[in-house]
Structure 1
Amino acid sequence: MSIRTDKVSSLLQRELSAIFEKELPRSGPLVTVTEVRMTADLGIARVYVSVIGSEAQRAEVMEYLDAENKMIRKTLSAKIRHQFRRIPELEFYEDRLFEQANRIEQLLKSVKPARDEEQH
């Protein structure tokens, strides 16, 4: 990626995080923007979102983001309109990296005690 796309990605990540902090209910699951990837023409922003909660809550958050995409983009536009001529289209994807890392850690912990017992 170019320096420009990196800067735009970083800015969008910060602004979208702030929007989610204000717009999403505090009693719901924890929602974090983990990464934003821009296309080369800066026309599309792929927003990766980590949702810590139950499967039902994850599905609900992703449905909300898809349903409210235009509202989120409009709110984003109001915040960054002086920095961009054209606000990129937003595509939301669920980032399950945190969940996968926890699963791997649990597997490694379960293997270690078994290996320790074999050595004794």
Structure 2
Amino acid sequence: MSIRTGKVSSLLQKELSSIFEKELPRSGPLLTIVEVKVTADLGIARVYVSLIGSEKERGLLMEHLQNETKYIRKLLSSRIRHQFRRIPELEFYEDEQYDKARRIEELLKEALNRPGEEQTES
């Protein structure tokens, strides 16, 4: 990642977080922007979001984000239009790291709490 794309990614993450926090109605699962990756030509911004809620709520919110991409891009444009000639297209993806980490923790707890098995010390 070049310095320029890194700065653009950081700015987009900050502004999108602010938009989700202040300008869009809150309902359903908790949404956090984990990362924004911008293509080298700055034409596409891939936005990775972490959602905490039920599977159904998360699915509905991702669908809503896909449907409202143009509106979110318009809000973003109103904030950063003086810094860019062209606002990148937005693509939203669900970041599943939280779910994977929680599953690993469950497996570790399960493995450590098995009755009748002795643990060997090294």
TM range (shorter): over 0.9
Which residues of 2 match residues 4-23 of structure 1 at below 5 A?
4-23=4-23
Q: TM-score, normalised by structure 1?
A: 0.93
Q: 1:34 to 1:86 in 2, by over 3 A?
A: same
Structure showing the higher helix proportion among its residues: 1
Give 1:114 deviation, angstroms: 2.4
Q: TM-score, normalised by structure 2?
A: 0.91
Which residues of 2 match residues 1-120 of structure 1 at below 5 A?
1-114=1-114, 117-119=117-119
Whichever residue aligns with residue 58 of structure 1, its letter is R
Give 1:113 deviation, angstroms: 2.1
Distance across 2 between alignment mates of 1:83 and 1:41 = 15
Whichever residue aligns with residue 80 of structure 1, its letter is I
Distance across 2 between alignment mates of 1:39 and 1:63 = 23
**Alignment length (residue pairs):** 120
Unaligned runs of 5+ in 1: none
**Over aligned residues, Cα RMSD in angstroms?**
1.7
Percent identity, aligned pairs only? 69
Unaligned runs of 5+ in 2: none
